[in-house]
Structure 1
Amino acid sequence: MMNRREFLASSAAGLLGAETTASKPNIIFLLADDLGYGDLSCYGQKRFSTPNLDRVAAEGTRFTQAYAGSTVCAPSRCCLMTGLHSGHATVRGNKKPEVGLRPEETTVASLLQKAGYE
């Protein structure tokens, strides 16, 4: 099974290897706090209707297995953006804003920028 860091690296490699004259695919990165697998109607939710997200899911990629990188949001977002396990990430909690990503950290944003995204 491929880990997140390998996934980010291989995705970026694919983007970097893409022909520069071809148009790049649009990337929509949705991040919602406290949104669970069963909260969208495209995954079977009957109580709430989420037609716009259902349409995005129908036209794109749907993920069915995921986990949070941490129990609180800042470290979890750090894990998501860097592909690092929470044990290796610099952001460890929500209460110390002075401890953030190191400038040399590779993020999905930096990989996309190298691939020509603005």
Structure 2
Amino acid sequence: MLYGILLLSVLAGACGTAAELPHILIIYTDDLGFGDLSIYNPKAAYKTPRIDRMAREGIRFTDAHSPSTICSPSRYGLYSGQQIFRSTGRGGGAFEGPGGPSYLQPATLTLGDMLRARGYRTGVFGKWHVGLTWYDDAGKRLGGGFANA
């Protein structure tokens, strides 16, 4: 069963106009084994032809390693480029349940911030789990650097 996040940055901006720039789509899933997609395993229980095509025509990152048994640390790393245990001092207890603090502090430079600085329009859709609140202590909406979060 695929559980996941669809991190969609349908974008425009390394160094020119939006029409010149490639789109970036990151599909980030939980509980997905290497052999669960038919691109990696022709005998997979489910055929995934559209994902297979995107994988064939795009870039595949096949050597990632999870820093934890829960999803929050991996997501934090993807968004910030940092190791959650080193940058937040949270140790192994990253998940605090609904209303818990956001691990991405407003000053944290994120993938979304960097892409927006280059002219991209960004969005994140699906499972967030980088802290289960959307607001900081002052009531300001947190978006992890993504314009549409």
Alignment partner, residue 52 of structure 1 = 50
Matched-pair identity in %: 39
Is 2:67 aligned against 1:69? yes
Is 2:21 aligned against 1:43? no
Moved over 6 A (4+): none
Count of residues paired in the alignment: 104
Q: Deviations over 1:13-68 (max 9, x none)?
A: xx976234752101111111111221111112412211110011011012221111
Higher RCO (CA < 8 A, seq sep 6+): 2
Alignment partner, residue 79 of structure 2 = 81
* Structure in which a larger fraction of residues adopt strand: 2
Which amino acid letter does the alignment assign opposite residue 31 of structure 1? Y
Unmatched tracts of structure 2, length 5 or more = 1-11, 122-149
**C-alpha RMSD of the superposition:** 2.3
Unmatched tracts of structure 1, length 5 or more = 1-14
TM-score after normalising by structure 2: 0.61
Alpha-carbon spacing, 1:69–1:115, altered in 2? closer, same or farther (3 Å):
farther
CA contact (8 A) 1:38 1:44 kept: yes
Instruction: Measure how far apart 1:91 and its partner are.
Output: 8.1
- Distance in 2 separating the partners of 1:83 and 1:35: 21
Aligned to 2:20, which of 19, 23, 29? 23
* Structure in which a larger fraction of residues adopt helix: 1
